[in-house]
């Protein structure tokens, strides 16, 4: 809750920084939105076995990564500006803290934007993990298929009921007699 002293301590400076943060967060949202699109495109390409679409999505993702890196540098500068204005350490400087020192309207906008961005980041993390699981499952399937065809076995050791390592009984399908 703001006190009269808090409001008087550089409120216009906090508002100025908060407005700069709002502009920056809009750019972060745009990049994160593009990242989400790419993650969904990658998922679709993998599910449909479309190597061209996968390649395009991954190339686009590289450009998005470069934009995100540029935003990261600006984020560090803004955090230091927040820290300086609020006279706290950079590690303690947060958008939530800034929102409590900015005027009510700007603080509310900052909180809404921050929450929306956090939701998008959580969705991107979820989709990225799902894509990783899908790719891992696909790679495991192919590995098992190739191992079955060639008679080789994976690096996993098999154990017999008595706890001793069991020799693999796999043979190449090409070694089987018909």
Q: What is the CATH number of the domain that holds 49?
A: 1.20.58
Give how many domains the chain has, as a whole number. Answer: 1
Phi-psi region of 156 (alpha: psi -120 to 50; beta: other; left: phi over 0): beta
For residue 1, is it within any domain? no
- pLDDT value of residue 7: 43
- pLDDT value of residue 65: 84
For residue 2, is it within any domain? no
Q: Which residues of the chain are modeled with pLDDT < 50?
A: 1-9
Q: Which domain covers residue 58, as residue numbers? A: 7-166
For residue 173, is it within any domain? no
What does pTM read for this prediction? 0.70
For residue 171, is it within any domain? no
For residue 174, is it within any domain? no
Q: Is the distance from CB of 136 to CB of 128 less than 8 angstroms?
A: no
- pLDDT value of residue 6: 45
H or E element at residue 165: strand 165-166
């Amino acid at each position: 809750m703001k006190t009269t002293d808090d409001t008087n301590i550089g409120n216009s400076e906090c508002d100025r920084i908060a407005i700069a943060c709002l502009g920056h967060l809009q750019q972060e949202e745009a990049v994160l939105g593009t990242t989400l699109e790419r993650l969904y495109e990658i998922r679709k390409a993998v599910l449909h076995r479309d190597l061209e679409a996968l390649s395009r999505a991954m190339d686009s993702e590289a450009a998005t990564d470069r934009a995100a890196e540029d935003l990261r540098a600006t984020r560090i500068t803004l955090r230091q500006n927040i820290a300086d204005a609020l006279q706290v350490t950079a590690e303690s400087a947060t958008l939530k803290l800034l929102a409590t020192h900015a005027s009510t309207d700007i603080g509310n906008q900052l909180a809404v934007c921050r929450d929306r961005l956090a939701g998008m980041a959580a969705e991107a993390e979820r989709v990225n993990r799902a894509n990783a699981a899908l790719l891992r499952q696909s790679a495991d399937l192919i590995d098992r298929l190739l191992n079955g065809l060639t008679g080789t076995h994976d690096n996993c050791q098999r154990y017999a009921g008595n706890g001793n390592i069991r020799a693999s009984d796999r043979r190449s399908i090409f070694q089987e007699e018909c």
